[in-house]
Structure 1
Amino acid sequence: MFIKINLTTKKNYPRKFPINLKDLEEAIKMCYLGLGTPYQPIPVDNFVSLGDSQFPAIPAKAKVSIKLCPEDEDDCQYKLSDPKLVCCKVKNVDRKFNDKDRIAKGYWKKIFNCDSKYIFSAPEGTLFVSPNKKGKCSISTRKKFPDTIVAYSIMFSLIIEHKDGYKRRYYFILDPVVKISSNRD
């Protein structure tokens, strides 16, 4: 299984980040990594391979789509099932923004096109993007906006079957940081 991030500008920049399901399943069954609930998902940064790909910087007039892509052999090889992309969260971690000690109401609308029923700005400043009917979290940047650095999280879930036949849905999160700039193509 892999997480596919598709950045579309004048060119298309697809990135695939494979999830090491074998090691993830083993770690869940052998270790206590956390609750694995939506409230406290298990970090999977150590189980995702970046390879030569890096999380792309996001330019102006770009569409970003994130999708969880199971592969045919996943269910046969591991006792994992029913993968679901839960949501993507975006937080402004830029010092210029946060040193102002405020939550700017409507701030995200200056950077992203937030006119979608799948995009929600929470009162504490987090921007949530839920999957659309095709299972993708998608958002577009505006033509011009202030440069900033954001942290975004990709939350997904899987059902993992334990030796005794007990099945449980676990929630996981990947937390990269990326720069967004209207001065790039």
Structure 2
Amino acid sequence: MKRKSFCDDACTVARALDVIGDWWSLLIVRDVLSGKRRFGELQKSLGAAKNILAARLKRLVADGILEVSVAPGGQKDYAPTEKGLALRPVLVALGQWSAEHLFEADEPRYSVVDARDRRPLAKLELRAQDGRGLGESDVEVALCAAGLSQASSSISRRSPPDAAGSPTQSSASPGPSGASGGAE
């Protein structure tokens, strides 16, 4: 069965997962961000079959997440692009979620740490543009037109798809001046 593509989806999460949604891709990006740059290093670290690793690397290069150069000796070096580097907070957040929900309190785990003092990073938090911390009840998903800094009340806002895959209309009302209060 052919996988559905979300490359034109209005949902920012669906579109991101279309590019980096399979677990090999995120693990490759994790390893490249931690300094592994050659095919052999990546294969040894991940234990991935050569054909799977080659296909994922090719896709990550095509999608602009990684760039490839030829090192002395003819080996390929993979390095993160600006787009790839921008995935670090995503991986940190995913790791923090995993540490909190999938590990026992005393279970050893890898964590991203501050290189200067070797302490784990502070937990990533949702913040408004004015710096306020946001809780679960403070955010919503809204459809924003390109170039707008806030959602417009004239734009139909939708919640994520229901179980049948159809978007459902949001019942939240716009805030002052037609602003929806939060955008994805």
TM-score range, shorter chain: under 0.3
Of structures 1 and 2, the one with the larger relative CO (CA 8 A, separation 6+) is 1
Normalized against structure 1, the TM-score is what? 0.20
Larger radius of gyration: 2
Greater share of strand? 1
